[in-house]
Structure 1
Amino acid sequence: SQQQMQLVRAVAVQVANAIGNAQLYFFIQDQAEQIGSLLREEQKEAAKNEAILESIADGLLVADDEGRVILANAALGQMLSLQDEDLIGRPINEMLGIYGTSGLHWSKTIENWAHNSDQVEPFALLTDDLHVENRIINVRLSPVFNANDFLGTVSIFRDITKAVEVDRIKSEFVSNVSHELRTPMTSIKGYTDLMLMGAAGGMSDSQRHYLTVIKNNADRLKSLVDDLLDISRIETGKTKLLRVYLDIGDVVNDVVNGHLRGRRQDAGKEMDITCDIPADLPTVSADKEKVTRILTNLVDNAFNYTPAGGTIRVSARNLGDVLAVTVADTGIGIPAEHLDNIFDRFYRSESEEVRAVPGTGLGLAIVHSLVEMHGGTMDVQSEQGKGSRFTFTLPFEPVVKGQTAELVTREIGNG
């Protein structure tokens, strides 16, 4: 009947709703179980990451894009003698000066990056040292990006106190040994020179040959001792700059005409030596003795590793903020795999061409350190078999108001 049909329809609707609700229930239950499983995996992964983070011996600090600390591990708290509540949620700028003047560069850089994130290079890296309770903590700071979005910064802290102390002891030992070697070496060299000049009377050819061998090796040993003393003084901070208003043309003239061309003549090694020093270059505030040492080491390297018939060219340019000095040669060149290490102490290539030239492996390390002391930079371009270009920069410093830096130019001959 019509009434029964209506009842059946009503029941059918209720049954359909019940079935739909049951299916929805099972679907929701299944989704809940999947979400729960994912959540448990995430919690397990988070716990594992936290355990790894806490087990790292180096301190780690993460700041967000506003420069506020959002993460720090236990090692960091121990290094800096700070608790989590002293760190988490605090802006980095509140830590400015907490360790005196040390670490200011690091903390201010984080603040600057947070305020000028569009100017931060993705692979920027900054290093600084914190002095905490007679300990030295090295910090390395890097920005964190997701695609082009600046997310914040990460800082890695490492206690380098023992390493610094070991390095200090080593430098003092090298310095002491070098000083002890210098005294007898001066006597050996002096008396050998006197004998070669005939102060002890006539000599046979064999005797003169033997004395010449002694003299040459004494000169090599003196060079080694001088290099060791120089690098030791630089590392221990005993090397100071005596800045004057310096005309680079004077230095190039002394080194090229007074030293390099003299070496060419003594060695009987035919070589084209040219200079390109504009007469209108401004003076720089620099230590004349140190700049002379830099240039001498570079031209000596060029002379040593450039065969007869080659060319050495010394040039200088005003690049606006800095003076750039380049020593280029047509020598044996440097393999690409060695370019990253050539400024390391005692580093020398194992190639026969390099080993054929006596050396300590300290010359370029000294050059690099002296350039950095002036606030300059070193750059090298080289191709094996074609030659090398070493360029160092010296920043121009403004003349004090009321003073003038007189520019004296010299004409430096070529050839």
Structure 2
Amino acid sequence: MQIKNRKLLLTLSVVLTLLPYFLINDMFPISNTWLEQGPLLLLQILSVGFVINSYLRIKNRALKLFWQFITLALLSALISNLLFIFAIISNDLLIQDFFKLCSYFFILLAIETNPQSNETKTNKNISNRVAAIFFTLICFSYFVLLPIEFANNSEDKIASSQLFHLLIAALIFIRLATNSYQCESQFWCRIYSVLTIAAGALLLENSIGYLNNWFLVSLPAYLLTLLVFIPYCALIIAANNSVKSTEPPTELMPSSISELYLILLISCSIIIHLVGIELNLHYNINSYLQSILLATWLGIALTLLTTIIYRKNHLGHKNQQQIKFQNTAQQELVKLNQLLTNAMLNSEDKAIVNASSNAILTTSTEGKVLSANPAAVQLFQCLEREIIATSVKDFFSSDDQMHYFFDFKSNVYTLQRKDAGISIECTATRKDGTQFPVQAELQWAEREEQPLVVITFINLTARKLAEQQALDLKDKFIANISHEFRTPLTIINGILDRYLVKAQTEDEGKELKTAKRNGLRLVRMVEQLLELSRLSDNPQLTMATYRLHTLMSMPADSFARLATQNNLTLTCDIPDHIWLDCDAQAFEKIIFNLIANAIKYTPAGGSIQVIAHSDSDNFTLDIIDTGIGIDTASQSKIFERFQRADDEKNQGVFGVGIGLSLVNELVKAHHWKINVFSEYNKGSKFSLIIPCASAISEEKSTPTSISQTEVSSLLIEPHNINKDIRNHSQKVVLVIEDNLDMQSHIKQVIEQQHHSLLAGSGELGLTLAQEYIPDVIVCDIMLTGIDGFAVLKQLKSHELTSHIPVILLTARSDLDSRLHGLNLQADEYLSKPFNHQELLTRIDNLISNREKLQKSYLNNFNKDLQQNRKNNSFDHVAELAHDSGDNVTLDNKFLEKLETITAEVYTDTDLDIVQLAARMAMSERQLQRKIKALIGITPNNFIKEFRLKKAKVLLQNGSQIGRIALDVGFSSQTYFGRCFKEMFSCTPKQYQQQQKTQRPSS
């Protein structure tokens, strides 16, 4: 068995290594060196393997160096153990201590690398490393070398050596515990915590060994063994954990503690030496060499301490000088900047404009620029000498009123008379042609020599951008909330449609019709909001050439009934010779809103006229009414969004000011013009000024009219609801919709004629589609999880569901979404809100078309025109399995696969739907519904017809009928004969005789 879990591998390895030793040690004392040291040797080798693996896999340079030193320390311990096992250094205490000294060196070097620190320079901790190495070397000489040479007895030598190991183990434990405490990230805290446990076990082991020189510390053998094994196990765990992070986090460690570290080591050395002399301890020898050794260490430590302090002071002094230099340079730059500013502002030529930080030009009364301040130089991005003596009109757009301001003396006289000056919002132009909006404030300035005009420019680019962003945000909000309106409106209108059919009384029906009419008005408002949002964002028009009379015929016919209902007279006078280039649907929306407003605001008995007349290049289309009219003060804002005239007569008329705003956006998108002329209480005239187009020989057909549908929302009596009651079809329709209310509504609509399955997400819908193989799928686009487009793509690419018709139902009715859905092979695309009768009709049409397709598949399957392909399936099954073309559909591939598999097993008399489904890798339900949907027969009938077609071929060869029946899978010759006669209208014997008579005589 392959073990993939690293933690499990680690645990098993350690347990399998330790377990034999514990069992043997508990059953009988271990005396053999190999049995005693073997488990430790295996654990050492295992730990070396894990550490080397970590060293090779880790990419971080500092952490890689850390494990490199640990590897060297483990190798030193392993070599020492091997030499001990082979009895090379079994009695030599000095060599054993030397190998441990090497291990200590590498462990201290690893710790002092500080891999967790974010310090980029590796030499910042060199003082700590040197101090640790020298301290360890001094201690080794002090406690090991000198006592071995001068101690009075072997007990003192061993005790001194054990004291050395105890001191170094304590140093290692303290350094690791300090790092573990200082680390903040979980990664480094975990690594150092495990290593601290290892150092603690090493410290405890050395403490027990040292104390046993004076009194016995009794611990069980397995605990003492565990203390030996813990450091290696901890190293394995730490190495395994360090591999998990590809890039270990770096931390901001506290400021360097090298000085404190050195002082502690010096203090410890002095205290140990003085205590040893005072109490005459075992490590004290009668030699001045210990004092010389201690003095040497003090000299080295003090040198290191002095170096560290000097380096820090030097670095601090350098940083202070750099800061001082930067401050001085900054002060000089500030003074220089102030001098330059004063020199520019206090010049005699610019004395008149030095009081403002805005861009200012001074000009003569003829518009010649006399001076410009630095802000103007920066605003227009050209040099001062390029501005002076030029005409002020050069700094304004050619179609802006300020471009011609000084050309008319009346403007200058008006400015002279106005004490407050003139403020004009206009478009300025830089030297490179870039245009930007500004507010131009013109002031008249009297001087002794000659008067001046002071023009102050306020850049409006940021303000305009902020306004545009606010407007875009508003448009986006309107578009989003309009999309959200579609789902509840669909539910409301659908429920009203159902109850309109069931209305019992005339009053009840009238109230429901009123509610339905207002629901349709809300739908129309939502459509206008979405259209307005799309026009503001990115207007896209489908331009073509049309005859005006053709375009106007549909709106005129649609509004005729509405005008009659309101007791109004609607007349249209449109000449036949006028042509125009436009987007037909956009033009119809313009006319719809203008005529609808005219009818809405015209009292009963009034009249509406639509008149077109042309001149040489343009024609004018007038919509004239005798309504309430528009106040002069309100005419300037009726084309703005959400603005209506504030007249008293408008208070009782429903509307929010969307229609005319949409008209204005559509007119601007076509680059046309619209004007309004109105007189209060007398009527209004809206005039569209449109360029004429050249006549064409063949007029393009106009798209589907929207007027009839939208006018129905304004009628008092909408069209009667179709009350045809249809029989239940027993078909299954899968509904994929995440909105529970909409899901319930669609279910109630569909279950009037069909069965329904519900799925609350795209994922569940795909599962149900593959499991139940429904007849039709109705899927919303805006789903949680995968959206409707992804669901459609997977349905059409899966063998089981590729044949199922899909209706996309969504609030997104824009052209791009529709084209995207149709490109993914959607069968229908229905926008919310929808009419439930329309949904049912489209489902019925898809089911009907699918039934016709079934018959087509079955006919093609039965026709002799495909005899060559069927002969391949009978005689050359292997070739049929590979016969596929680029244009073969998934349904055809499915039928080919079915024929191929059936050709392989049809001779088996026990063949049924269970075996066939298993070979097709499908469930029985899926195979049953798939075959039924494609060719309209059951799987068992398919097997029977396949056998009979094979038998028909064999009968032509003159074989025995009973033998043929068995060869094609019939267990009974009688049943075979009856089935053959039902299919081919003759018995097998009669068919053989017919074939013999048809053969030409030899």
Aligned residues of 1:65 and 1:153 also touching (Cα < 8 A): no
Q: Note the C-alpha offset of 1:271.
A: 1.4
The 5 A counterparts of 1:43-82 are: 50=353, 54-55=356-357, 59=359, 70=370, 72=372, 75-80=375-380
1:228 is matched with 529
Which stretches in structure 2 are left out of the alignment for 5+ residues? 1-348, 415-423, 444-451, 700-1002
| Residue of structure 2 in register with 1:286 after alignment | 582
CA deviations on 1:286-321 (whole Å, 9 max, x unpaired) are: 111111111111111110111111110001111322
Q: 8 Å contact 1:63–1:152 — kept in the other structure?
A: yes
Structure 1 unaligned residues grouped into runs of 5+? 1-45, 96-102, 145-150, 409-415
Distance 1:163 1:78, change over 3 A: farther
SS in 2 for 1:389: strand
> Cα gap change, 1:172/1:322 in structure 2, threshold over 3 Å: closer, same or farther?
same
Partners of 2:517 and 2:566 lie apart in 1 by: 18
> How far off is 1:183 after superposition?
2.7
Matched residues in 1 for 2:441 and 2:550: separation? Answer: 42
Contact kept, 8 Å, 1:316 with 1:323, in 2: the verdict is yes
Report the TM-score, using the length of structure 2 for normalisation.
0.29
Contact conserved, 1:316 with 1:326, CA < 8 A, in 2? yes
For the pair 1:264 / 2:264, whether they are aligned, the reply is no
- The 8 Å contact of residues 379 and 391 in structure 1, kept in 2 or not, is answered as yes
Correspondence for 1:214: 515
The residue aligned with 2:649 is 353
2:405 maps to 1:405: no
Cα drift, residue 131 of structure 1 = 11
CA distance 1:211–1:341, shift in 2 (3 Å): same
Counterpart residue number, 2:483? 179
Contact 1:310/1:329, CA 8 A, preserved across alignment: yes
Query: How big is the alpha-carbon RMSD for the aligned residues of Structure 1 and Structure 2?
Result: 4.3
Tell me the distance in 2 between the aligned counterparts of 1:143 and 1:330.
45
- Paired residue for 2:571? 274
Are residues 275 and 67 of structure 1, via their aligned partners in 2, closer, same or farther at CA, if it must alter by over 3 Å?
A: same
Q: 1:334 to 1:193 in 2, by over 3 A?
A: same
The alignment status of 1:393 with 2:695, answered yes or no, reads no
Identical counterparts, % of pairs: 27
Question: Which structure has the highest helix share of the two?
Answer: 2
- 1:326 match: 622
Aligned length in residues: 327
Question: Would you say the 8 A contact 2:353–2:360 is kept in 1?
Answer: no
CA apart distance, 1:192? 1.9
Aligned equivalents of 1:68 and 1:191: distance in 2?
Answer: 73
Distance of 1:337 and 1:250 partners within structure 2? 37
Counterpart position of 2:922:
none
Distance 1:93 1:345, change over 3 A: closer
RCO comparison, higher one (Cα < 8 Å, 6+): 1
Any idea what the Cα deviations from partners look like across 1:121-151, whole Å, max 9, x if unmatched?
999x99558799xx9932478999xxxxxx9
Deviation sequence 1:353-381 (CA, Å, 0-9, x none): 21222112121122122212222211111
Say if 2:560 is the partner of 1:247: no
Taking a change above 3 Å as real, the CA distance of residues 215 and 128 of structure 1, as seen in their structure-2 partners, is farther
1:370 correspondence with 2:666: yes
CA 1:65/1:375 → structure 2, altered by over 3 Å: closer, same or farther? farther
Tell me: CA distance 1:362–1:109, structure 2 relative to 1, closer, same or farther (3 Å): closer
Distance in 2, matches of 1:380 and 1:271, equals 21
Could you say which residue in structure 2 is the equivalent of 1:311? Answer: 607
Taking structure 1 as reference, are residues 294 and 202 closer, same or farther at Cα in structure 2, changes over 3 Å only? closer
Question: Alpha-carbon deviations, 1:234-291, whole Å to 9, x = none?
Answer: 222x22122111211112211112x2112124xx22212112222222x121111111
Partner of 2:781: none
- How far 1:164 sits from its partner (Å)? 1.8
| Shift, 1:405, TM fit | 2.2
Match among 492, 501, 506 for residue 188 of structure 1: 492
For residue 301 of structure 1, the aligned residue among 571, 592, 597 is 597
Alignment counterpart, residue 338 of structure 1, candidates 622, 634, 648 = 634
1:231 shift after superposition = 2.1
Q: Is the 8 A contact 1:64 1:70 kept in 2?
A: yes
Provide closer, same or farther for how the CA distance between residues 107 and 341 of structure 1 changes in structure 2, counting only shifts above 3 A. closer
Contact 2:630 2:647 in 1 (8 A): no
TM-score of the superposed pair, with normalisation by structure 1: 0.65
SS of equivalent to 1:228: helix
1:158 equivalent in structure 2: 460
Q: Which amino acid aligns with 2:686?
A: F
Whether contact under 8 Å (2:643, 2:657) holds in the other structure is yes
C-alpha contact (below 8 Å) 1:378/1:390 kept by paired residues? yes
Secondary structure class of the residue paired with 2:469: helix
Counterpart residue number, 1:21: none
**Cα distance in 2 between the residues matched to 1:112 and 1:130:** 10
CA contact (8 A) 1:375 1:395 kept: no
**Is residue 136–residue 161 contact of structure 1 (8 Å, CA) maintained in 2?**
no
Separation (CA, whole Å) in 2 of partners of 1:142 and 1:284: 44
Q: Counterparts of 2:469 and 2:577 in 1: how far apart (Å)?
A: 47
In the TM superposition, residue 62 of structure 1 has moved relative to its aligned partner by: 7.3
Q: Return the offset for 1:391.
A: 0.3
Q: How does 1:89-104 map to 2 (within 5 A)?
A: 89=389
User: Partners of 1:367 and 1:307 in 2: how far apart?
Assistant: 23
Report Cα offsets for 1:173-205 as digits up to 9, x if no partner. Answer: 111111121232233223323432x1xx45455
CA contact (8 A) 2:441 2:455 kept: yes
